[in-house]
Amino acid sequence: MAAPDFATLFDFETQLEDAATTFLATASGLPESSVFSTLDQDEFTVPRVEVMVEINEGIDPPVKRSTVSDVEEYLNYAATISIRVVTDALQDGTQAVHRAMRGAIRGEMMQNGNNWTTTPSLLPFYSVQYQRPMGTSYEIDGDLAVSTLTYDIRFAIKNDAWPA
């Protein structure tokens, strides 16, 4: 599927975050209105899941866009995805809720990238080729319990994603 324009194709963060919020809403048991990407956090609800993608380097070598093009581009990229599980530390039973959500998120992310491709429409322009857990941090921030799960992912622009 071709992207409508280059701005959409190269907005990796939005595309990856939107896909992740969709499948993580199901995994966490939260409504999609409680799963947020980095620029969609107008309301602060608890419990919540936050997804942030940071693009790292383009992976060498640059290659031809497709078999019909001589234009070489970086088609493969590395990225870091951070997933924050946020619950109310003062609410009774929050430890169990927090631990269950964290475990469900981790379980969904243990699929070695398959969660990105189960529904092809989630990522029409990219394919996730690799996913590796990088670690988890935990903190109490005021009244909030926050676990941050971090993953290294590698993805590629699909051959048919280039705008006409």
Query: What's the topology of domain 6-158?
Result: Alpha-Beta Plaits (3.30.70)
Helix (H), strand (E) at residue 149: strand 144-157
pLDDT one-digit tens code per residue, 78-100? 999 999 999 998 887 778 889 99
In sequence order, the 6+-apart residues with CB closer than 8 A to the CB of 29 are: 101, 104
User: What pLDDT was estimated at residue 120?
Assistant: 67
pLDDT one-digit tens code per residue, 17-74? 999 988 888 877 777 778 888 777 667 788 889 999 999 999 999 988 776 678 888 9
Q: Can you say whether the dihedral through the CA atoms of 106, 111, 112, 113 is positive or negative? A: negative
Report DSSP state, residue 142. T
- Which sequence spans correspond to the domains of the chain? 6-158
